[in-house]
């Protein structure tokens, strides 16, 4: 019988879809003895999982509950097959992405400050904010108190499952969507990442939802930030190191762009880090996938992969095949 180790913090009823041919082995965070298992479902928090790994023996397959698995190969080595939770976090991450765009364009962070101050007349400061961030200093009346998403040019960097879900949610806003992936495609048109610099000057909103790899590290650096139009919005729902943090801090403090981040580099973001106090920034602490459906969807994905593994069928979400 296949022995499957999992974090006991997961509710037992969520494992009811697992094949009957497996023995489920709860792995406490502070395991005090070595244990043999065949399949490992790591804790979603890497620090806990990495601490547990030296106690585990015989692991042949890792079923991650996350879409990103960047820490796993270096921990388990090349002789273990790794599958991610591709597709499990599409909805929650896509919804965070679009919600953060709307929050920034509707100036919700500013209006929350107005609410807390209890000063209705402060709303007119939104006009000065609009002029400063966009460079549009025309004498507009009535005053500009927010912006619209409809009709804007959106550059979607990463066109996998989550990128396609973002596109679906954006459809009613009739945005002009530019898609970027590792390689160019047609129907729909997708540009190669090598074209990124030529596309950035057209983009009013830039969404990052690509995998973190050696090639994508620092993809958005000083040059790319400078190519973005005045007042463009950078949205990072991927991984922090894809953006050069120092360059981003400089661009935000200079008032050149604005940003919404669910991920940072470093992460967790230390107390007193310059990003905390940057203007024109909405920052959430890596929560985009953390809806009540996180565990149910991820474990359904893992259960499906486990059934295919047992039946000798090709698995769907292999990110590393054992060598």
Choice among 60, 129, 286, 307 that is catalytic: 286
Residue listed under structure tokens 């919700």: 108
Q: Which residues pair with 62 in a beta bridge?
A: 40, 82
Spatial separation of the C-alpha atoms in residues 247 and 261, rounded to whole Å: 14
Spatial separation of the C-alpha atoms in residues 18 and 28, rounded to whole Å: 20
Choice among 223, 267, 313, 316 that is catalytic: 267
Choice among 179, 239, 256, 258 that is catalytic: 239
CA-angle at 213, arms to 207 and 214, nearest 5°: 120
Q: Is 204 a catalytic residue?
A: no
For the chain, report the end-to-end CA distance as a whole number of angstroms.
Answer: 23
Q: Which residues does 137 contact at the CB level (< 8 Å), separation at least 6?
A: 131
Q: Is 286 a catalytic residue?
A: yes
Q: Which residues pair with 254 in a beta bridge?
A: none
Burial zone of 97 (CB within 10 Å; 0-12 exposed, 13-18 middle, 19+ buried)? buried
Q: What is the DSSP letter of 90?
A: H
Q: Is 313 a catalytic residue?
A: no
Spatial separation of the C-alpha atoms in residues 301 and 88, rounded to whole Å: 7
Q: In what order do the strands lie in the sheet with 22-26?
A: 22-26, 2-6, 39-40, 61-63, 81-83, 318-320
Please list the active-site residues: 239, 267, 286
């Amino acid at each position: 019988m296949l022995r499957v180790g999992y974090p006991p913090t997961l509710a037992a009823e969520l494992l009811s879809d697992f094949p009957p041919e497996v023995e489920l082995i709860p792995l406490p965070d502070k395991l005090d003895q070595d244990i043999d298992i065949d399949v490992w479902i790591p804790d979603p928090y890497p620090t806990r999982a990495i601490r547990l790994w030296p106690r585990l023996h015989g692991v042949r397959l890792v079923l991650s509950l996350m879409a990103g698995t960047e820490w796993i190969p270096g921990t388990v080595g090349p002789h273990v097959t790794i599958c991610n939770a591709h597709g499990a976090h599409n909805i929650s991450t896509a919804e965070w992405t679009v919600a953060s765009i709307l929050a920034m364009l509707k100036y919700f962070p500013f209006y929350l400050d107005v609410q807390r101050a209890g000063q209705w007349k402060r709303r007119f400061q939104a006009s000065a904010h609009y002029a400063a961030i966009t460079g549009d200093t025309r004498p507009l009346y009535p005053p500009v108190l927010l912006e619209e998403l409809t009709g804007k040019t959106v550059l979607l960097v990463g066109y996998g499952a989550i990128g396609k879900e973002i596109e679906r949610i954006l459809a009613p806003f009739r945005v002009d969507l530019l898609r970027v992936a590792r390689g160019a495609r047609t129907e729909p048109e997708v540009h190669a990442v090598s074209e990124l610099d030529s596309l950035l000057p057209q983009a009013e909103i830039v969404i990052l939802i690509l995998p973190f790899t050696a090639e994508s590290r620092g993809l958005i650096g000083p040059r790319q930030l400078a190519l973005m139009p005045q007042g463009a919005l950078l949205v990072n729902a991927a991984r922090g190191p894809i953006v050069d943090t120092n360059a981003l801090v400089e661009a935000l403090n200079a008032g050149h762009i604005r940003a919404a981040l669910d991920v940072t580099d470093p992460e967790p973001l230390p107390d007193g880090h310059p990003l905390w106090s940057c203007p024109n920034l909405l920052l959430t602490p890596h929560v985009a996938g953390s809806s009540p459906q996180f565990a149910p969807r991820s474990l359904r994905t893992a259960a499906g992969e486990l059934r295919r593994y047992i039946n000798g069928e090709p698995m769907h979400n292999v990110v590393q095949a054992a060598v």
